[in-house]
Chain A
């Protein structure tokens, strides 16, 4: 199984490399290190969101409210910054993450305590969170000139030669990677999604584990809320509208099974990068950006179809291995 999972990620990495190589044949500048770094920077938020989404999907749930959570926390910190520029930016970023954790906890509690189907719960909070942005902002925009320079500058600050935004993504990948592979909670995420009943008998609290996954997803979405408004220097009701689909797409393309229990940090990251490369390549190869939606739709369908096949094969392999082990 280990080999198969790994080969899937290697396949995806190869696909990305081939994609970049193909574009570079016609447009060599695309493969320049500085441009690739820019593509990574542009994809950083998607990567971070995909990591949180992956944790949720691993537990057989889904979080459709990530983009709305991002937009709401982004609006809150933007309004705070506009009204009180003296508040330290780091504090605002932490506040964004905390607020996101709270919003994620609402999702998690509904799934855990009220046993509302995850898709309904997060579809509901998706509209509610968006509506709340309208209520607190009155539909008004927070524009670049209302934000303090430090607020906008932080994601662009270079640390060790790379943008802080990219650095956040790298740190998130490492931390969530450690969480999923080296902690009890990480094992619980896989166990709950792989077989909830067996997880209960193994002493794992299914509801609490799902709650934890939602809080993680919300926290990361909240942090991205600050990063998003600071990067694009604008906050309004519809920022990141529909972005939840890109996030789910990144996971699915990365081999995270929507049925739960299967997926890896490397896969989710590569899935996000795949979408990021396509998004950044379209204008380079002179294709209208309007193609992006259809392409990611097609990528989702192909990826799910591949996942469905891979999962079937995997089941047999496990059984054979188990027999040999005896």
Chain B
């Protein structure tokens, strides 16, 4: 990407412009990385290109990506929700509790999604009504939601979910396409349209760039933010249904630390952590990259915690490298 073809005269400011543009096209860079990882993996392991293996690998990222989409909107609007993993724990616990009363699969799903929605309402109320900074408020609700899961479950676990409940995490819609993969694709499309094709999406960008100006131009800032928290809670509830169905059990420590991975996915996708810019396409590519790296490391027998070092380094590098590059460019120019 950095080796721009030299067409005739090398005018310094023009070269800088092209490079800056190349760097700005974060999605293009991600696509190259994704393809590179794909090819490397295909050469590294003969089992990688098997469609069923690839389908299995998609479970590495689908559930996290479901939350990453609304999180991207939330971060673009200048807020953050660190309680998403705790919402999964609480929603899963709620489903497990309902299971003890012998409810059927449709009710279980409704309870899981409904609990997520309710948690979103709590977060949205704290941030938009009480005016609390979202980072602390959601650190608080993160402890609260997971804390309730611990109070209910302690060191126990819920198992024995009905057989037809397994569809959401283990079922296939057709050939190798799992329900989760299809849900991932549909959500990506829906959130892509919401962010890039509606006035709501424009409002999200406007709020992230300048909330005061957005307010004065007639955008109901508090309502948009509230809806975003609601959406994030809702999708966390959906992810809770999928994850619980896939694992077939509920523990209070379910999805521990996922908030970090979701935020990493969003930031790796080119969403500015300070708000105002980012695309759903970037988040989709980031999900694919992270999923394939996890899968590739798995094939190479790399332990999960080493993988998390990689994720941490990636998170920092993704933000630091463009800044360093821009600084070096500025020094040269």
Contact = CB atoms under 8 A, between A and B. Distances in A.
Interface residues of B, number: 44
Contacts of A119: 80, 135, 273
Interface in A285-319: 288, 290-298, 300-301, 304-305, 308
B298 interface: no
B141 interface: yes
A290 B137 contact: no
B140 A128 contact: no
B147 interface: yes
A294 B141 contact: no
B135 to A, nearest CB: 7
Interface stretch (B229-237, B241-249, B289-297, B308-316): B308-316
Interface string A207-244: 00000000000000000000000000000010000000
A69 to B, nearest CB: 14
Nearest to B144: A297
A117 B319 contact: yes
A163 B53 CA distance: 58
Contacts of B319: 114, 116-117, 120
Nearest to A257: B133
Given A124-B315, A258-B136, A308-B132, A249 B309 contact: no
- Chain A interface size band reads 35 or more
Contacts of A294: 143-144, 146-148, 150-151
Interface string B261-289: 00110010000011000000000000000
A131 interface: yes
Contacts of B309: 127-128, 131-132, 135
B145 interface: yes
A300 B151 contact: no
Residue among B267, B273, B309 with most chain A CB within 10 A: B309
Given A290-B150, A304-B133, A297 B143 contact: yes
Nearest to A125: B312
Given A127-B260, A248-B136, A293-B147, A301 B141 contact: yes
Interface string B111-132: 0000000000000001000111
A291 B274 CA distance: 34
A114 B46 CA distance: 41
B197 interface: no
Contacts of B273: 117, 119-120
Closest 5 CB pairs of A and B: A294-B147, A297-B143, A297-B144, A131-B309, A293-B147
Interface of B: 80, 126, 130-133, 135-137, 139-148, 150-151, 153-154, 252, 260, 263-264, 267, 273-274, 303, 305-306, 308-309, 311-313, 315-316, 319-320, 323-324
Given A123-B263, A293-B147, 15 more contacts: A116-B316, A116-B320, A120-B273, A124-B313, A124-B315, A131-B308, A131-B312, A139-B305, A248-B136, A248-B139, A296-B147, A297-B140, A301-B137, A308-B131, A308-B132
9 contacts: A114-B323, A116-B316, A119-B80, A131-B308, A248-B139, A288-B151, A290-B154, A294-B148, A305-B130
